[in-house]
Chain A
Amino acid sequence: MIQNGNINRKWYSGMLTNEDWWSVWLGLAMVILGLFSLAGLDLVGWIASPTTWLDPAQGVVVSGEAYKGLNPVLSIIITYAVFTGLTTLGAVAMKWDVKKYFLGFTILFVLTWIIWYVGHNAYLAAMSTQHDKFGISWSLSMGGGASYLLALAVGLIIGNLFKGFAGFLQEAAKPEWFIKTAIVYLGVKLGIKCMEASNYALELALTGAAATFAAYLIFWPLCYVTCRKLFKLPREWSAVLSSGVSICGVSASVATGGAIRAKPIVPVVSAIMVVVFTIFLIVALPPIYTATLSNEPIVAGSATGMTVKTDGADAATGAILDEMMVAKAAEQGQYWEKGWILTASIMTKIWIDMFIGVWAFILAILWVGKVERGPGQSKVPKSEIWFRFPKFVIGYLIAWFIYIGIAAFAPDLTESAKIGAASVQGPMRHLFFMLTFVAIGVITDFSKLKGLGRPALSYAVCQFIIIPPIALIIAYIFHSGMTVPGAN
């Protein structure tokens, strides 16, 4: 039955009922708790995270100095209770199946923590410079990247070999929600980094914006022409696939589908292709860029942001790339600060995300006025731009600017601000990254590509042949010569 209660018409629609807004609330809740360190209270230091280990008993550390006496197992239980409570609250507000969500999230959390911990085994994670420390003669030197790849592998095994179990977990496997929350936490990291290297962060932001703009102007028309001329796809398919492959994946597919009023099946098929094809990039790009661009880390990060679709997959690829490039630099005696390469990939993606609304609005006007004229006079409400705006960016910017503000207006408080920030932008962000990796794997079912024919082929040609080299060239033009600041 048709119900008009499901139309999104107010500017505040969805504030309590969609994941995008809930990533803002979940993100900012922890950012605000972290700020209590300004008053000498560490309210977020209870979180634990794995550290490189050979002795299993030494593999977990509690984040805050104030909580160093806390048993790590108790710390993990508190972490579980806090995030299960908060995300279940979100599930209730979003009217999900709460029981299924609770059980699914519990399984995901336990699975994620086990993988996270195992991935930090010294034989997988330790750098060669740490061999003496652990008394080992070899290691894969993967840093935190081992956990990420393991998480993805386990998720993919579940998603493709245990489909019943994957179906059960899907109520809780929400990679977009997890990664958007993690990106709000990343805003804290960027704020802290700005305290130390404000000009560098500004340059990264501005060049990222310019690169994104250039990419839009090249990617979309090229992909559209490829779909229309080479694969003879109809206009609506070509437009939606072009947005999916050249802008930002699922969001752009849906936004464009809506803008041109395509049948719902079009963006849905495009979204399936985005999700499935992206996995190949998560696995392939980091080793390729690490092998070939070790002197241009920011170029690699930015190119990743322009190439990999969906925020979750981009952050996942950027995180692996960051770990691999930092590890490789360390092997060569250069100690880069972790997080900047990831920041480059996410910053590029955020600019892209913010532009989706404007692009969808332009397409909507073009379609209504030029391509498909109906018997009535159609108007596209400007509110469409706001509805398409990714709300988690608001959380990211608030978190970022809070810390910039502290540095600018209360520099004496910088050190105490860093205490709370350390737990939010460190272990909490990593936990949500890990949840994202497992969740991406769980929701990716390669068999969905069967029977998609020409649309799948055209998407693959655009994604693997057209986009990567152009993204790399644009990233090189705007970011070449930018190195990563050294670790303290």
Chain B
Amino acid sequence: MRAEREVVLIHNGHHWLAEDNDIAVSAITLAELEKNIKTALGACGRYKKGETVTILLGVDTRIMPAWIRPYQSHYFNRYVTLQL
């Protein structure tokens, strides 16, 4: 599956934070975060209203402590398709 954008995710202990070159949003839940991403992408000026965008939500592996990383090579990646 191909994504038009790649957004990097981290968790700071309280919030999920998503960031790429154009947007930086945060939320307590991932569902809220996806809503915020949708709003931010709509406002960034690169897309038309109603356009569909597929993004890769990729987790920065460093959100897991170093001692736990060897057990799994990453946390998760998801493709999310949003209609703006």
Contacts and interface: CB of A to CB of B under 8 A. Distances in A.
Interface of A: 2-4, 6-9, 13-14, 18-20, 170, 174, 176-177, 250-251, 254-255, 257-259, 261, 263-265, 267-268, 271, 364, 368, 372-381, 384, 387-388, 443
Contact of B56 (A2, A9, A170, A174): A9
A251 B79 contact: no
Contacts of B77: 7-9, 381, 384
B68 interface: yes
19 contacts: A4-B8, A6-B8, A8-B58, A13-B73, A13-B74, A18-B70, A18-B73, A20-B70, A176-B70, A258-B59, A258-B75, A264-B63, A268-B68, A375-B34, A376-B82, A377-B81, A378-B81, A379-B78, A381-B77
Given A372-B30, A380-B78, A384-B76, A267 B68 contact: yes
Contact of B81 (A19, A258, A259, A376): A376
Contact of B80 (A258, A264, A374, A384): A374
Contacts of A384: 76-77
A385 to B, nearest CB: 13
Contact of A254 (B11, B30, B71): B71
A366 to B, nearest CB: 14
Given A375-B31, A375-B82, A376-B38, A7 B73 contact: no
Contact of A271 (B35, B61, B68): B68
A380 B64 CA distance: 20
B10 interface: yes
Interface string B50-69: 00000010111111110111
A402 to B, nearest CB: 26
Nearest to A265: B13
B44 interface: no
Nearest to B16: A263
B79 A6 contact: no
Contacts of A387: 72-74
Interface residues of B, number: 40
Given A372-B30, A378-B78, A6 B71 contact: no
B68 A254 contact: yes
Contacts of B40: none
Given A2-B10, A265-B13, A379-B79, A7 B31 contact: no
Contacts of A372: 30-31
B76 A259 contact: yes
A95 to B, nearest CB: 10
Contact of B71 (A263, A271, A373, A379): A271
Query: Does more than half of chain B's interface fall in helix, strand or loop, or is it mixed?
Result: mixed
A403 to B, nearest CB: 28
A163 B52 CA distance: 54
Nearest to B78: A378
A379 B75 contact: no
Contacts of B64: 254, 264, 267-268
A212 B38 CA distance: 43
Q: Which of A263, A268, A373, A375 has the most CB of B within 10 A?
A: A375
Contacts of A250: 68, 71
A381 B17 contact: no
B74 A8 contact: yes
Contacts of B71: 176, 250-251, 254, 271
Given A3-B8, A174-B70, A387-B73, 13 more contacts: A7-B56, A20-B70, A20-B73, A258-B76, A264-B63, A265-B13, A268-B64, A375-B38, A376-B80, A378-B79, A379-B79, A381-B79, A387-B74
A388 B70 contact: no
A18 B8 CA distance: 21
Contacts of B59: 7, 258
Nearest to B10: A2
B23 to A, nearest CB: 11
Contacts of A258: 59, 72, 74-76
B38 A264 contact: no
B61 A261 contact: no
B80 A261 contact: no
